[in-house]
Amino acid sequence: MADSSFDIVSKVERQEVDNALNQASKEISQRYDFRNVGASIEWSGEKILMQANSEDRVNAILDVFQSKLVKRGISLKALDAGEPQLSGKEYKIFATIQEGISQENAKKVAKMIRDEGPKGVKAQVQGDELRVSSKSRDDLQAVQQLIKGADLDFAVQFVNYR
């Protein structure tokens, strides 16, 4: 019998992030507490730029954006937001969307699967994803539960379940 396998990846659908950003921008333009404060949120290359005239307001913009991401099913672990920085008279926050599993994180997850997972499960790093294989599908489901229960500092999805 052939081995069953699945891939552990950390991907974010760019269109969903774009939709969340547009919803946040619309809410910011309509809310009373953001009137006449120069509040905005927009793409700046590959980064997301949030700006307003006070630190509290720029943090509120970040909060609105995070709530829109959650409603669209995107994990906040994928959002890497910096600290508010004063630039002239405006406060700015630059945020990036993290995709892919770094080598050290992939090694940590593979070690966790080897140590805590069922016997006979193999995990191998393939670029920015991790392939997990085993003869038993039940073992693979146990590994998925183990990873879902672990407190990882990045978002994970399971794809290519065969």
HSE, side-chain direction, 13 A CA sphere, residue 60: 15
Residue 40 and residue 77 in contact, taking contact as beta carbons nearer than 8 Å: no
Query: What's the one-letter identity of residue 67?
Result: S
pLDDT for the residue numbered 29: 92
Domain segments of the chain: what residues?
A: 4-11+101-159, 14-97
Distance, in Å, from the CA atom of 144 to the CA atom of 158, rounded to the nearest integer, reads: 8
What is the reported pTM?
A: 0.84
pLDDT for 160: 87
What was the pLDDT predicted at 155?
A: 85
pLDDT at res. 30: 93
Answer whether residue 95 shows pLDDT above 90.
yes
CATH superfamily of 14-97: YajQ-like, domain 2 (3.30.70.990)
Residues 6+ apart with CB under 8 A from 141: none
Q: What is the pLDDT of residues 17-62, one digit of tens each?
A: 999 999 999 999 999 988 888 899 999 988 999 999 999 999 999 9
Q: Measured between alpha carbons, how far is 143 from 119 in angstroms, rounded to an integer?
A: 11
DSSP per residue, 4-66: EEEEEE----HHHHHHHHHHHHHHHHH-GGGTTTT-EEEEETTEEEEEESSHHHHHHHHHHHH
Q: 4-11+101-159: which CATH number, 3.60.20.10, 3.30.70.860, 1.20.1250.20, 3.40.50.2300?
A: 3.30.70.860
